[in-house]
Amino acid sequence: MFIKDKIKINIKISPEKILWKAQNIPLNIIYDDNYLLVINKSSNLVVHPGNGNPDKTIFNSLLYNYPFLRDLPRAGIIHRLDKNTTGLMIIAKTMLSYMNLKIALKKHKIIREYEAIVNGIIQHNDIINYPIKKYYNKKKIRMIINNKGKKAITQYFLKRIFKNHSHLRIKLYTGRTHQIRVHLEYINHSIVGDPIYKKSQINILTIHNKQYLINKILKRQALHACYLEFMHPIYHYPLKLNSSLPDDIQYLISILEEHNKSVYNNYG
């Protein structure tokens, strides 16, 4: 290449940035101030628009209820939950609180805990420490355990044992996509109702000679984000927030109790 040579560069410039829809979708708000809010996410609700879900998400709802969030990255959403995982989520309301919360998340200073009903009997508390990598197969994406993946650490505590299932309290030390679901499947204790990570699923319960189909009792994975603990990004006081199990998981537990009385109660 010489000084007088002409170089042609093709750059495609979009005439306008994407204008996301603001949609009136109800939010269950459990904490709200000038700098952040915490919502209790319901099932069958996607957090952010993407392939197959262009709208009707929490993101769209935030733009409707808090129009100024359009100026923040991802409308202030600090972390995500899967479509059919319920529970607590943090949303920042200013750029400063967004930055501070993101830093806290990266430094593992936001405590996130879950409850889950899993297949099989778990005998004791433990930590799962296996790296997770994204895997593409026939246009579908799922996460797998792979030594070339990203560090992922999940700690679980045994709450109760049923005849063929266990009730866990789970603490995240990292936040990889589908982390809890992938880790539990890998140790052969997949979450009840999980449509993707479903190795070791028990599909039928027999109670008093009557059969119950698990996928009729619960039409999603039995996973709920039940607890958040973090320092307020501006006022610097601790916030500790709880969310009770939703009705569908409580109903599942009642069926499991009927199937066989709980024989162990060790946590909480």
| pLDDT bracket for residue 136 (50, 70, 90) | confident
Cα–Cα distances in angstroms (integers) from residue 98 to residues 35, 36, 77, 93, 249, in the given order: 9, 8, 8, 7, 32
For residue 18, pLDDT over 90 is answered with no
Superfamily of the domain at 111-268: Pseudouridine synthase (3.30.2350.10)
Average pLDDT, the chain: 89
> Do the Cβ atoms of 255 and 119 come closer than 8 Å?
no
How far is Cα 89 from Cα 79, in angstroms, rounded to an integer? Answer: 7
Helix segments in the chain, DSSP class H: 58-65, 95-106, 179-186, 214-217, 247-259
| pLDDT bracket for residue 4 (50, 70, 90) | low
| pLDDT bracket for residue 139 (50, 70, 90) | low
For residue 222, pLDDT over 60 is answered with yes
Bigger pLDDT: 19 vs 80 = 80
Cα–Cα distances in angstroms (integers) from residue 185 to residues 49, 63, 124, 154, in the given order: 27, 36, 17, 12
**Mean pLDDT on 177-196:** 96
Taken as a whole, the chain contains a residue count of 268
Residues contacting residue 122 through CB under 8 Å, at least 6 positions apart: 156, 158, 161, 166, 168, 189
Q: Please list the active-site residues.
A: 82
pLDDT of residue 20: 81
Number of H helices, E strands in the chain: 5, 13
Spell out the domain ranges in the chain: 16-107, 111-268
Output the six-digit token pair for 137: 């197969």
pLDDT of residue 264: 41
Q: Model confidence over 63-94: pLDDT tens digits? A: 999 999 999 999 999 999 999 999 999 999 99
Q: What is the dihedral of CA 100, 127, 144, 219, to 10 degrees?
A: -90
Q: Model confidence over 100-124: pLDDT tens digits? A: 999 999 999 999 999 999 999 999 9
User: Rounded to two decimals, what is the model's pTM?
Assistant: 0.87
For residue 219, pLDDT over 80 is answered with yes
| Three-state DSSP state, 240 | strand
pLDDT of residue 118: 97
| pLDDT bracket for residue 41 (50, 70, 90) | very high
pLDDT of residue 26: 94
| Number of C-beta neighbours around residue 20 at 10 A | 17
Q: Quick one: what percent of the chain has pLDDT higher than 70?
A: 89
Of 98-107, 122-131, 141-150, the range with the lowest mean pLDDT is: 141-150
For residue 210, pLDDT over 60 is answered with yes
Superfamily of the domain at 16-107: Pseudouridine synthase (3.30.2350.10)
How far is Cα 83 from Cα 57, in angstroms, rounded to an integer? Answer: 9
For residue 16, pLDDT over 50 is answered with no
In DSSP notation, 188-235 reads: T-PBTT-SSS-TT---EEEETTEEEEHHHH-SS--EEEEEEEEE-TTT
| pLDDT bracket for residue 1 (50, 70, 90) | very low
How far is Cα 122 from Cα 102, in angstroms, rounded to an integer? Answer: 34
Domains 16-107 and 111-268 share a fold: yes
Listed residue (253, 122, 143) closest to 200, CA to CA: 122
How far is Cα 180 from Cα 224, in angstroms, rounded to an integer? Answer: 11
